[in-house]
Amino acid sequence: MRKENLLDKRIVVNEQLVDWKLIDQEVVFLHNKEKVFYELNRTATYIWLKANGKKPIREIIKGLITKFLINKDKAKKDTIEFISGAIKNKIFLLV
Amino acid sequence: MAPPLRNIVFHIVKGCNLKCKVCYGLFWSDKKQLMNFQIYKKSIDEAYSLGLQSIRLSGYGEPSLHPELKKMILYAKNKKLYIRIYTNLLMHRDLLWFVINNADLLSVHVNAFSKNLFLESQVRADEAASKSFELFARNIAEIRNTKNLDLIFVINNRNILDLHKVVYFCLNTKMRLQVNIPIVKNNAVKYICFSSEELKEIKRELIGLYIKTCHARRYDLAFQIKKVLFAEKEEVEEGKSVLIKKEKPKRCPTPQYSCYIGPYGDVYPLAPYQEMAPLGNISKTPLYDMWNSADLASIRDEMWFNFDINKWKICKNCPFDRINNKFIVQRSRRRAKTGQ
């Protein structure tokens, strides 16, 4: 999928595949098939919590830039990389 | 030639002072049976020449109900045997400290850590059950800092809510923990069912616990939580599942190093022996003959080389997770090859 198309999509966490919990403001999730734990950093946690199907990815990136005061291009690049990786592994679902 | 008999599990009492709904044996419903000290002594004396190194005093029930428990412990201690005792801790203070000071390991079966759940787990939540909980709480608080202790927590759909309390208790006391996944299709199956929503919520809690134990570098506790998190589920009725062990046993080393002796001296090669014929009785047949018998040799071979879980129906109810005990498996595999 092209980057520009992806930015307008909305995403949700695939609750069938992962179980997760917010611990000390960071998400920890368990991949039920791989049987592996993943700990997310603060920025990935922000994206994870916003992945509720309400806002498109473009809006999530905007919020990320405002909250963490990071470079716009870097935020966009990293977010798309993270989200597309998660979609590929079926951790996020497009809605 | 048979391998050495390293371990004997003595079921010195059949009977219990608790009436747990989730108990797989419902031992309290039977009339109490006690092992005669002479049978116990004869078993140890005969097994000593077969290479005995350790004994386990458990019961089909609670071993501390045996009036001669102290005598039994001292006898084994004089023989320099490793003594492990399974208990629910419902015993008087002097007996408790005697056991702590003389046994090598005390394994405490915990049903629940909060009073409500403890009472709920009992068939009758009366005053006696309430007193039992108070005794348990007092005893566990008293011995919390002793070294030779571990907790065994068999989860069910109610006490899983207490798992975090048990884990925090172990975190603060350096106590070891063994979490057992319940046995499937036993008489307590209705108490160990979870709906999918309940499972989801439980898993969330457990993830939090897992991370906390990892941060505290208690990887032993983290491993136990992981066992529950990674257990598989099997549907038993519509919308309700039970957790089961992921790994199915492929072989069992038990008859290669251990045997079980019931309260009346009957000797068995395997633990869940309700449906099994004994190898013989210790008061009639020498243990040497039973341990070296052709019957037991064929059971050993079959359970190690051609183990079929469908044939050994009693093994489906085995409460022990032997296959994860790699040390025993490796040791027994070496013995099976070399016969030493």
A28: which chain B residues are within 8 Å (Cβ-Cβ)?
Answer: 207-208, 211
Q: Does B200 touch chain A (CB under 8 A)?
A: yes
* Structure token pair of residue B194: 């979870």
CB A53 within 8 A of CB A46: no
> How many structural domains comprise chain A?
1
SS3 A56: strand
CB B290 within 8 A of CB B267: yes
* H or E element at residue B90: none
Query: Residue A19: which of B200, B211, B212 has the nearest Cβ?
Result: B200
DSSP classification of residue B263 = T
d(CA B20, CA B17): 9
Inter-chain touch A39–B229, beta carbons under 8 Å = no
d(CA B250, CA B54): 25
Q: Average of pLDDT values for B266-292?
A: 85
pLDDT of residue B314: 65
Whether pLDDT at B333 is above 50:
no
B205: which chain A residues are within 8 Å (Cβ-Cβ)?
Answer: 21
pLDDT tens, residue by residue, B122-178: 877 788 888 999 999 999 999 888 888 888 887 776 777 788 888 888 888 878 888
* Structure token pair of residue B72: 């039994």
d(CA A36, CA A31): 5
Q: How confident is the model at residue B336 (pLDDT cuts 50, 70, 90)?
A: very low
d(CA A29, CA A9): 23
Give this complex's ipTM. Answer: 0.70
Q: Does B207 touch chain A (CB under 8 A)?
A: yes
Whether pLDDT at B66 is above 90:
yes
CB B34 within 8 A of CB B320: no
- CA B46 → CA B8, B41, B81, B290, distances in Å? 11, 9, 14, 11
* H or E element at residue B48: helix B37-48
Host domain of residue A18: 3-94
CB B322 within 8 A of CB B328: yes
pLDDT tens digits, chain A, 95 residues: what are they? Answer: 555 578 888 999 998 888 888 888 889 888 888 888 888 999 999 999 999 989 999 999 999 999 888 888 988 988 999 999 999 989 999 98
B229: which chain A residues are within 8 Å (Cβ-Cβ)?
Answer: 30
CB B57 within 8 A of CB B73: yes
